[in-house]
């Protein structure tokens, strides 16, 4: 394979998939872009050796992601309990094409949170096989395992995801009604209204980043979450509905600056999980819907 302009054109055809794989692997939009760029640089150096471009690119991008996941594990820099991945935002009027390309069929920030708790091998194997339909035989060389061993790895990861990632209600209109009820109760300081819209065992995860570390926490239970929400009542009027990783959430902007993104996982008509990104540095880097 050769020809600079032709090679670049063919690479661009694969960019959305590569970015989607890297985002699911790493939970970071900026790091996903870095992975795509590194993959392009390696292709530029080894283009003559490539027969199956799509497979080669996915393999290289996956290796780069795996190295980063293993490096994270060694550094142990991230507090997994409070870490909220970068959200993908879209306007309520319809799905943003870029968001659709990133998310594919499996949506919800809650799933991305759980992926962050998997070990590097489990995460790579689950993402490639269950989310991008890569055969076990193609994943095996990446992990230096047999296809049968990769199958077991995916099975373990799948069980953990099923246990920890609530399956959200698919009816977006019903989701929106629940989120609107939560916002209305927040604006009015209606404690009972908040408790009513929350599942009894609901979980709230807040990530304030290094700049707002005091806000990073995980709290559990409807009454505890309702009490916490009342403390941020003054921000409720600034929250507007947006799609966060394909499900309903809110974007709060004050004086032109994003203050938080909240993702709601609605299960059986109640809020089962809320994931809040309040890290000002990461919020500033997000592409905000109009």
Q: What is the pLDDT of residues 56-81, one digit of tens each?
A: 999 999 999 999 999 988 876 555 68
DSSP code of residue 213:
G
Closest among 92, 221, 246 to 168, alpha carbons compared: 246
Tell me the Ramachandran region of residue 254: left when phi exceeds 0, alpha when psi lies from -120 to 50, beta otherwise: beta
Distances (CA, A) of 41 to 70, 78, 132, 206: 22, 28, 23, 36
The domains located in the chain, with CATH, are: 4-79+117-164 (1.20.140.160), 172-284 (3.10.450.50)
Q: Specify the residue for token string 């209109």.
A: 173
Please say if the pLDDT value at position 132 is more than 60: yes
Separation of alpha carbons 102 and 193, rounded Å = 35
The pLDDT-based confidence of 105 (bands split at 50, 70, 90) is low
Residues 6+ apart with CB under 8 A from 210: 279, 281
Separation of alpha carbons 90 and 126, rounded Å = 26
Kindly report, residue by residue over 189-206, the tens digit of the pLDDT. Answer: 999 999 999 999 999 999
């Amino acid at each position: 394979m050769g020809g600079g302009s032709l090679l670049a054109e063919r690479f661009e055809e694969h960019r959305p998939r590569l970015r989607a794989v890297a985002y699911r692997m790493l939970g970071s939009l900026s790091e996903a872009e870095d992975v795509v760029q590194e993959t392009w640089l390696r292709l530029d150096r080894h283009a003559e050796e490539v027969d199956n471009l799509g497979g080669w690119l996915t393999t290289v991008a996956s290796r780069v992601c795996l190295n980063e996941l293993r490096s994270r594990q060694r550094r142990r820099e991230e507090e997994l309990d409070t870490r909220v991945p970068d959200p993908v935002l879209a306007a309520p009027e319809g799905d943003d094409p870029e968001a659709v390309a990133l998310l594919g069929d499996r949506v919800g920030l809650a799933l991305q949170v759980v992926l962050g708790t998997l070990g590097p091998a489990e995460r790579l194997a689950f993402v490639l096989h269950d989310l991008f339909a890569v055969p076990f035989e193609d994943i095996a060389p990446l992990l230096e395992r047999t296809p049968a061993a990769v199958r077991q790895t995916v099975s373990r990861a799948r069980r953990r995801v099923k246990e920890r990632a609530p399956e959200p209600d698919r009816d977006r209109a019903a989701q929106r009604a629940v989120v609107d009820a939560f916002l209305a109760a927040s604006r009015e300081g209606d404690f009972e209204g908040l408790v009513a819209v929350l599942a009894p065992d609901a979980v709230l995860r807040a990530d304030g980043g290094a700049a707002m570390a005091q806000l990073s926490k995980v709290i559990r239970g409807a009454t505890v979450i309702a009490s916490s929400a009342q403390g941020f009542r003054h921000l409720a009027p600034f929250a507007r509905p947006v799609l966060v990783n394909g499900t309903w959430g809110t974007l709060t902007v004050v004086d032109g600056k994003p203050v938080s993104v909240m993702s709601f996982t609605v299960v059986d008509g109640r809020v089962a999980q809320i994931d809040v990104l309040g890290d000002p540095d990461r919020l500033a880097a997000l592409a905000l819907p109009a």
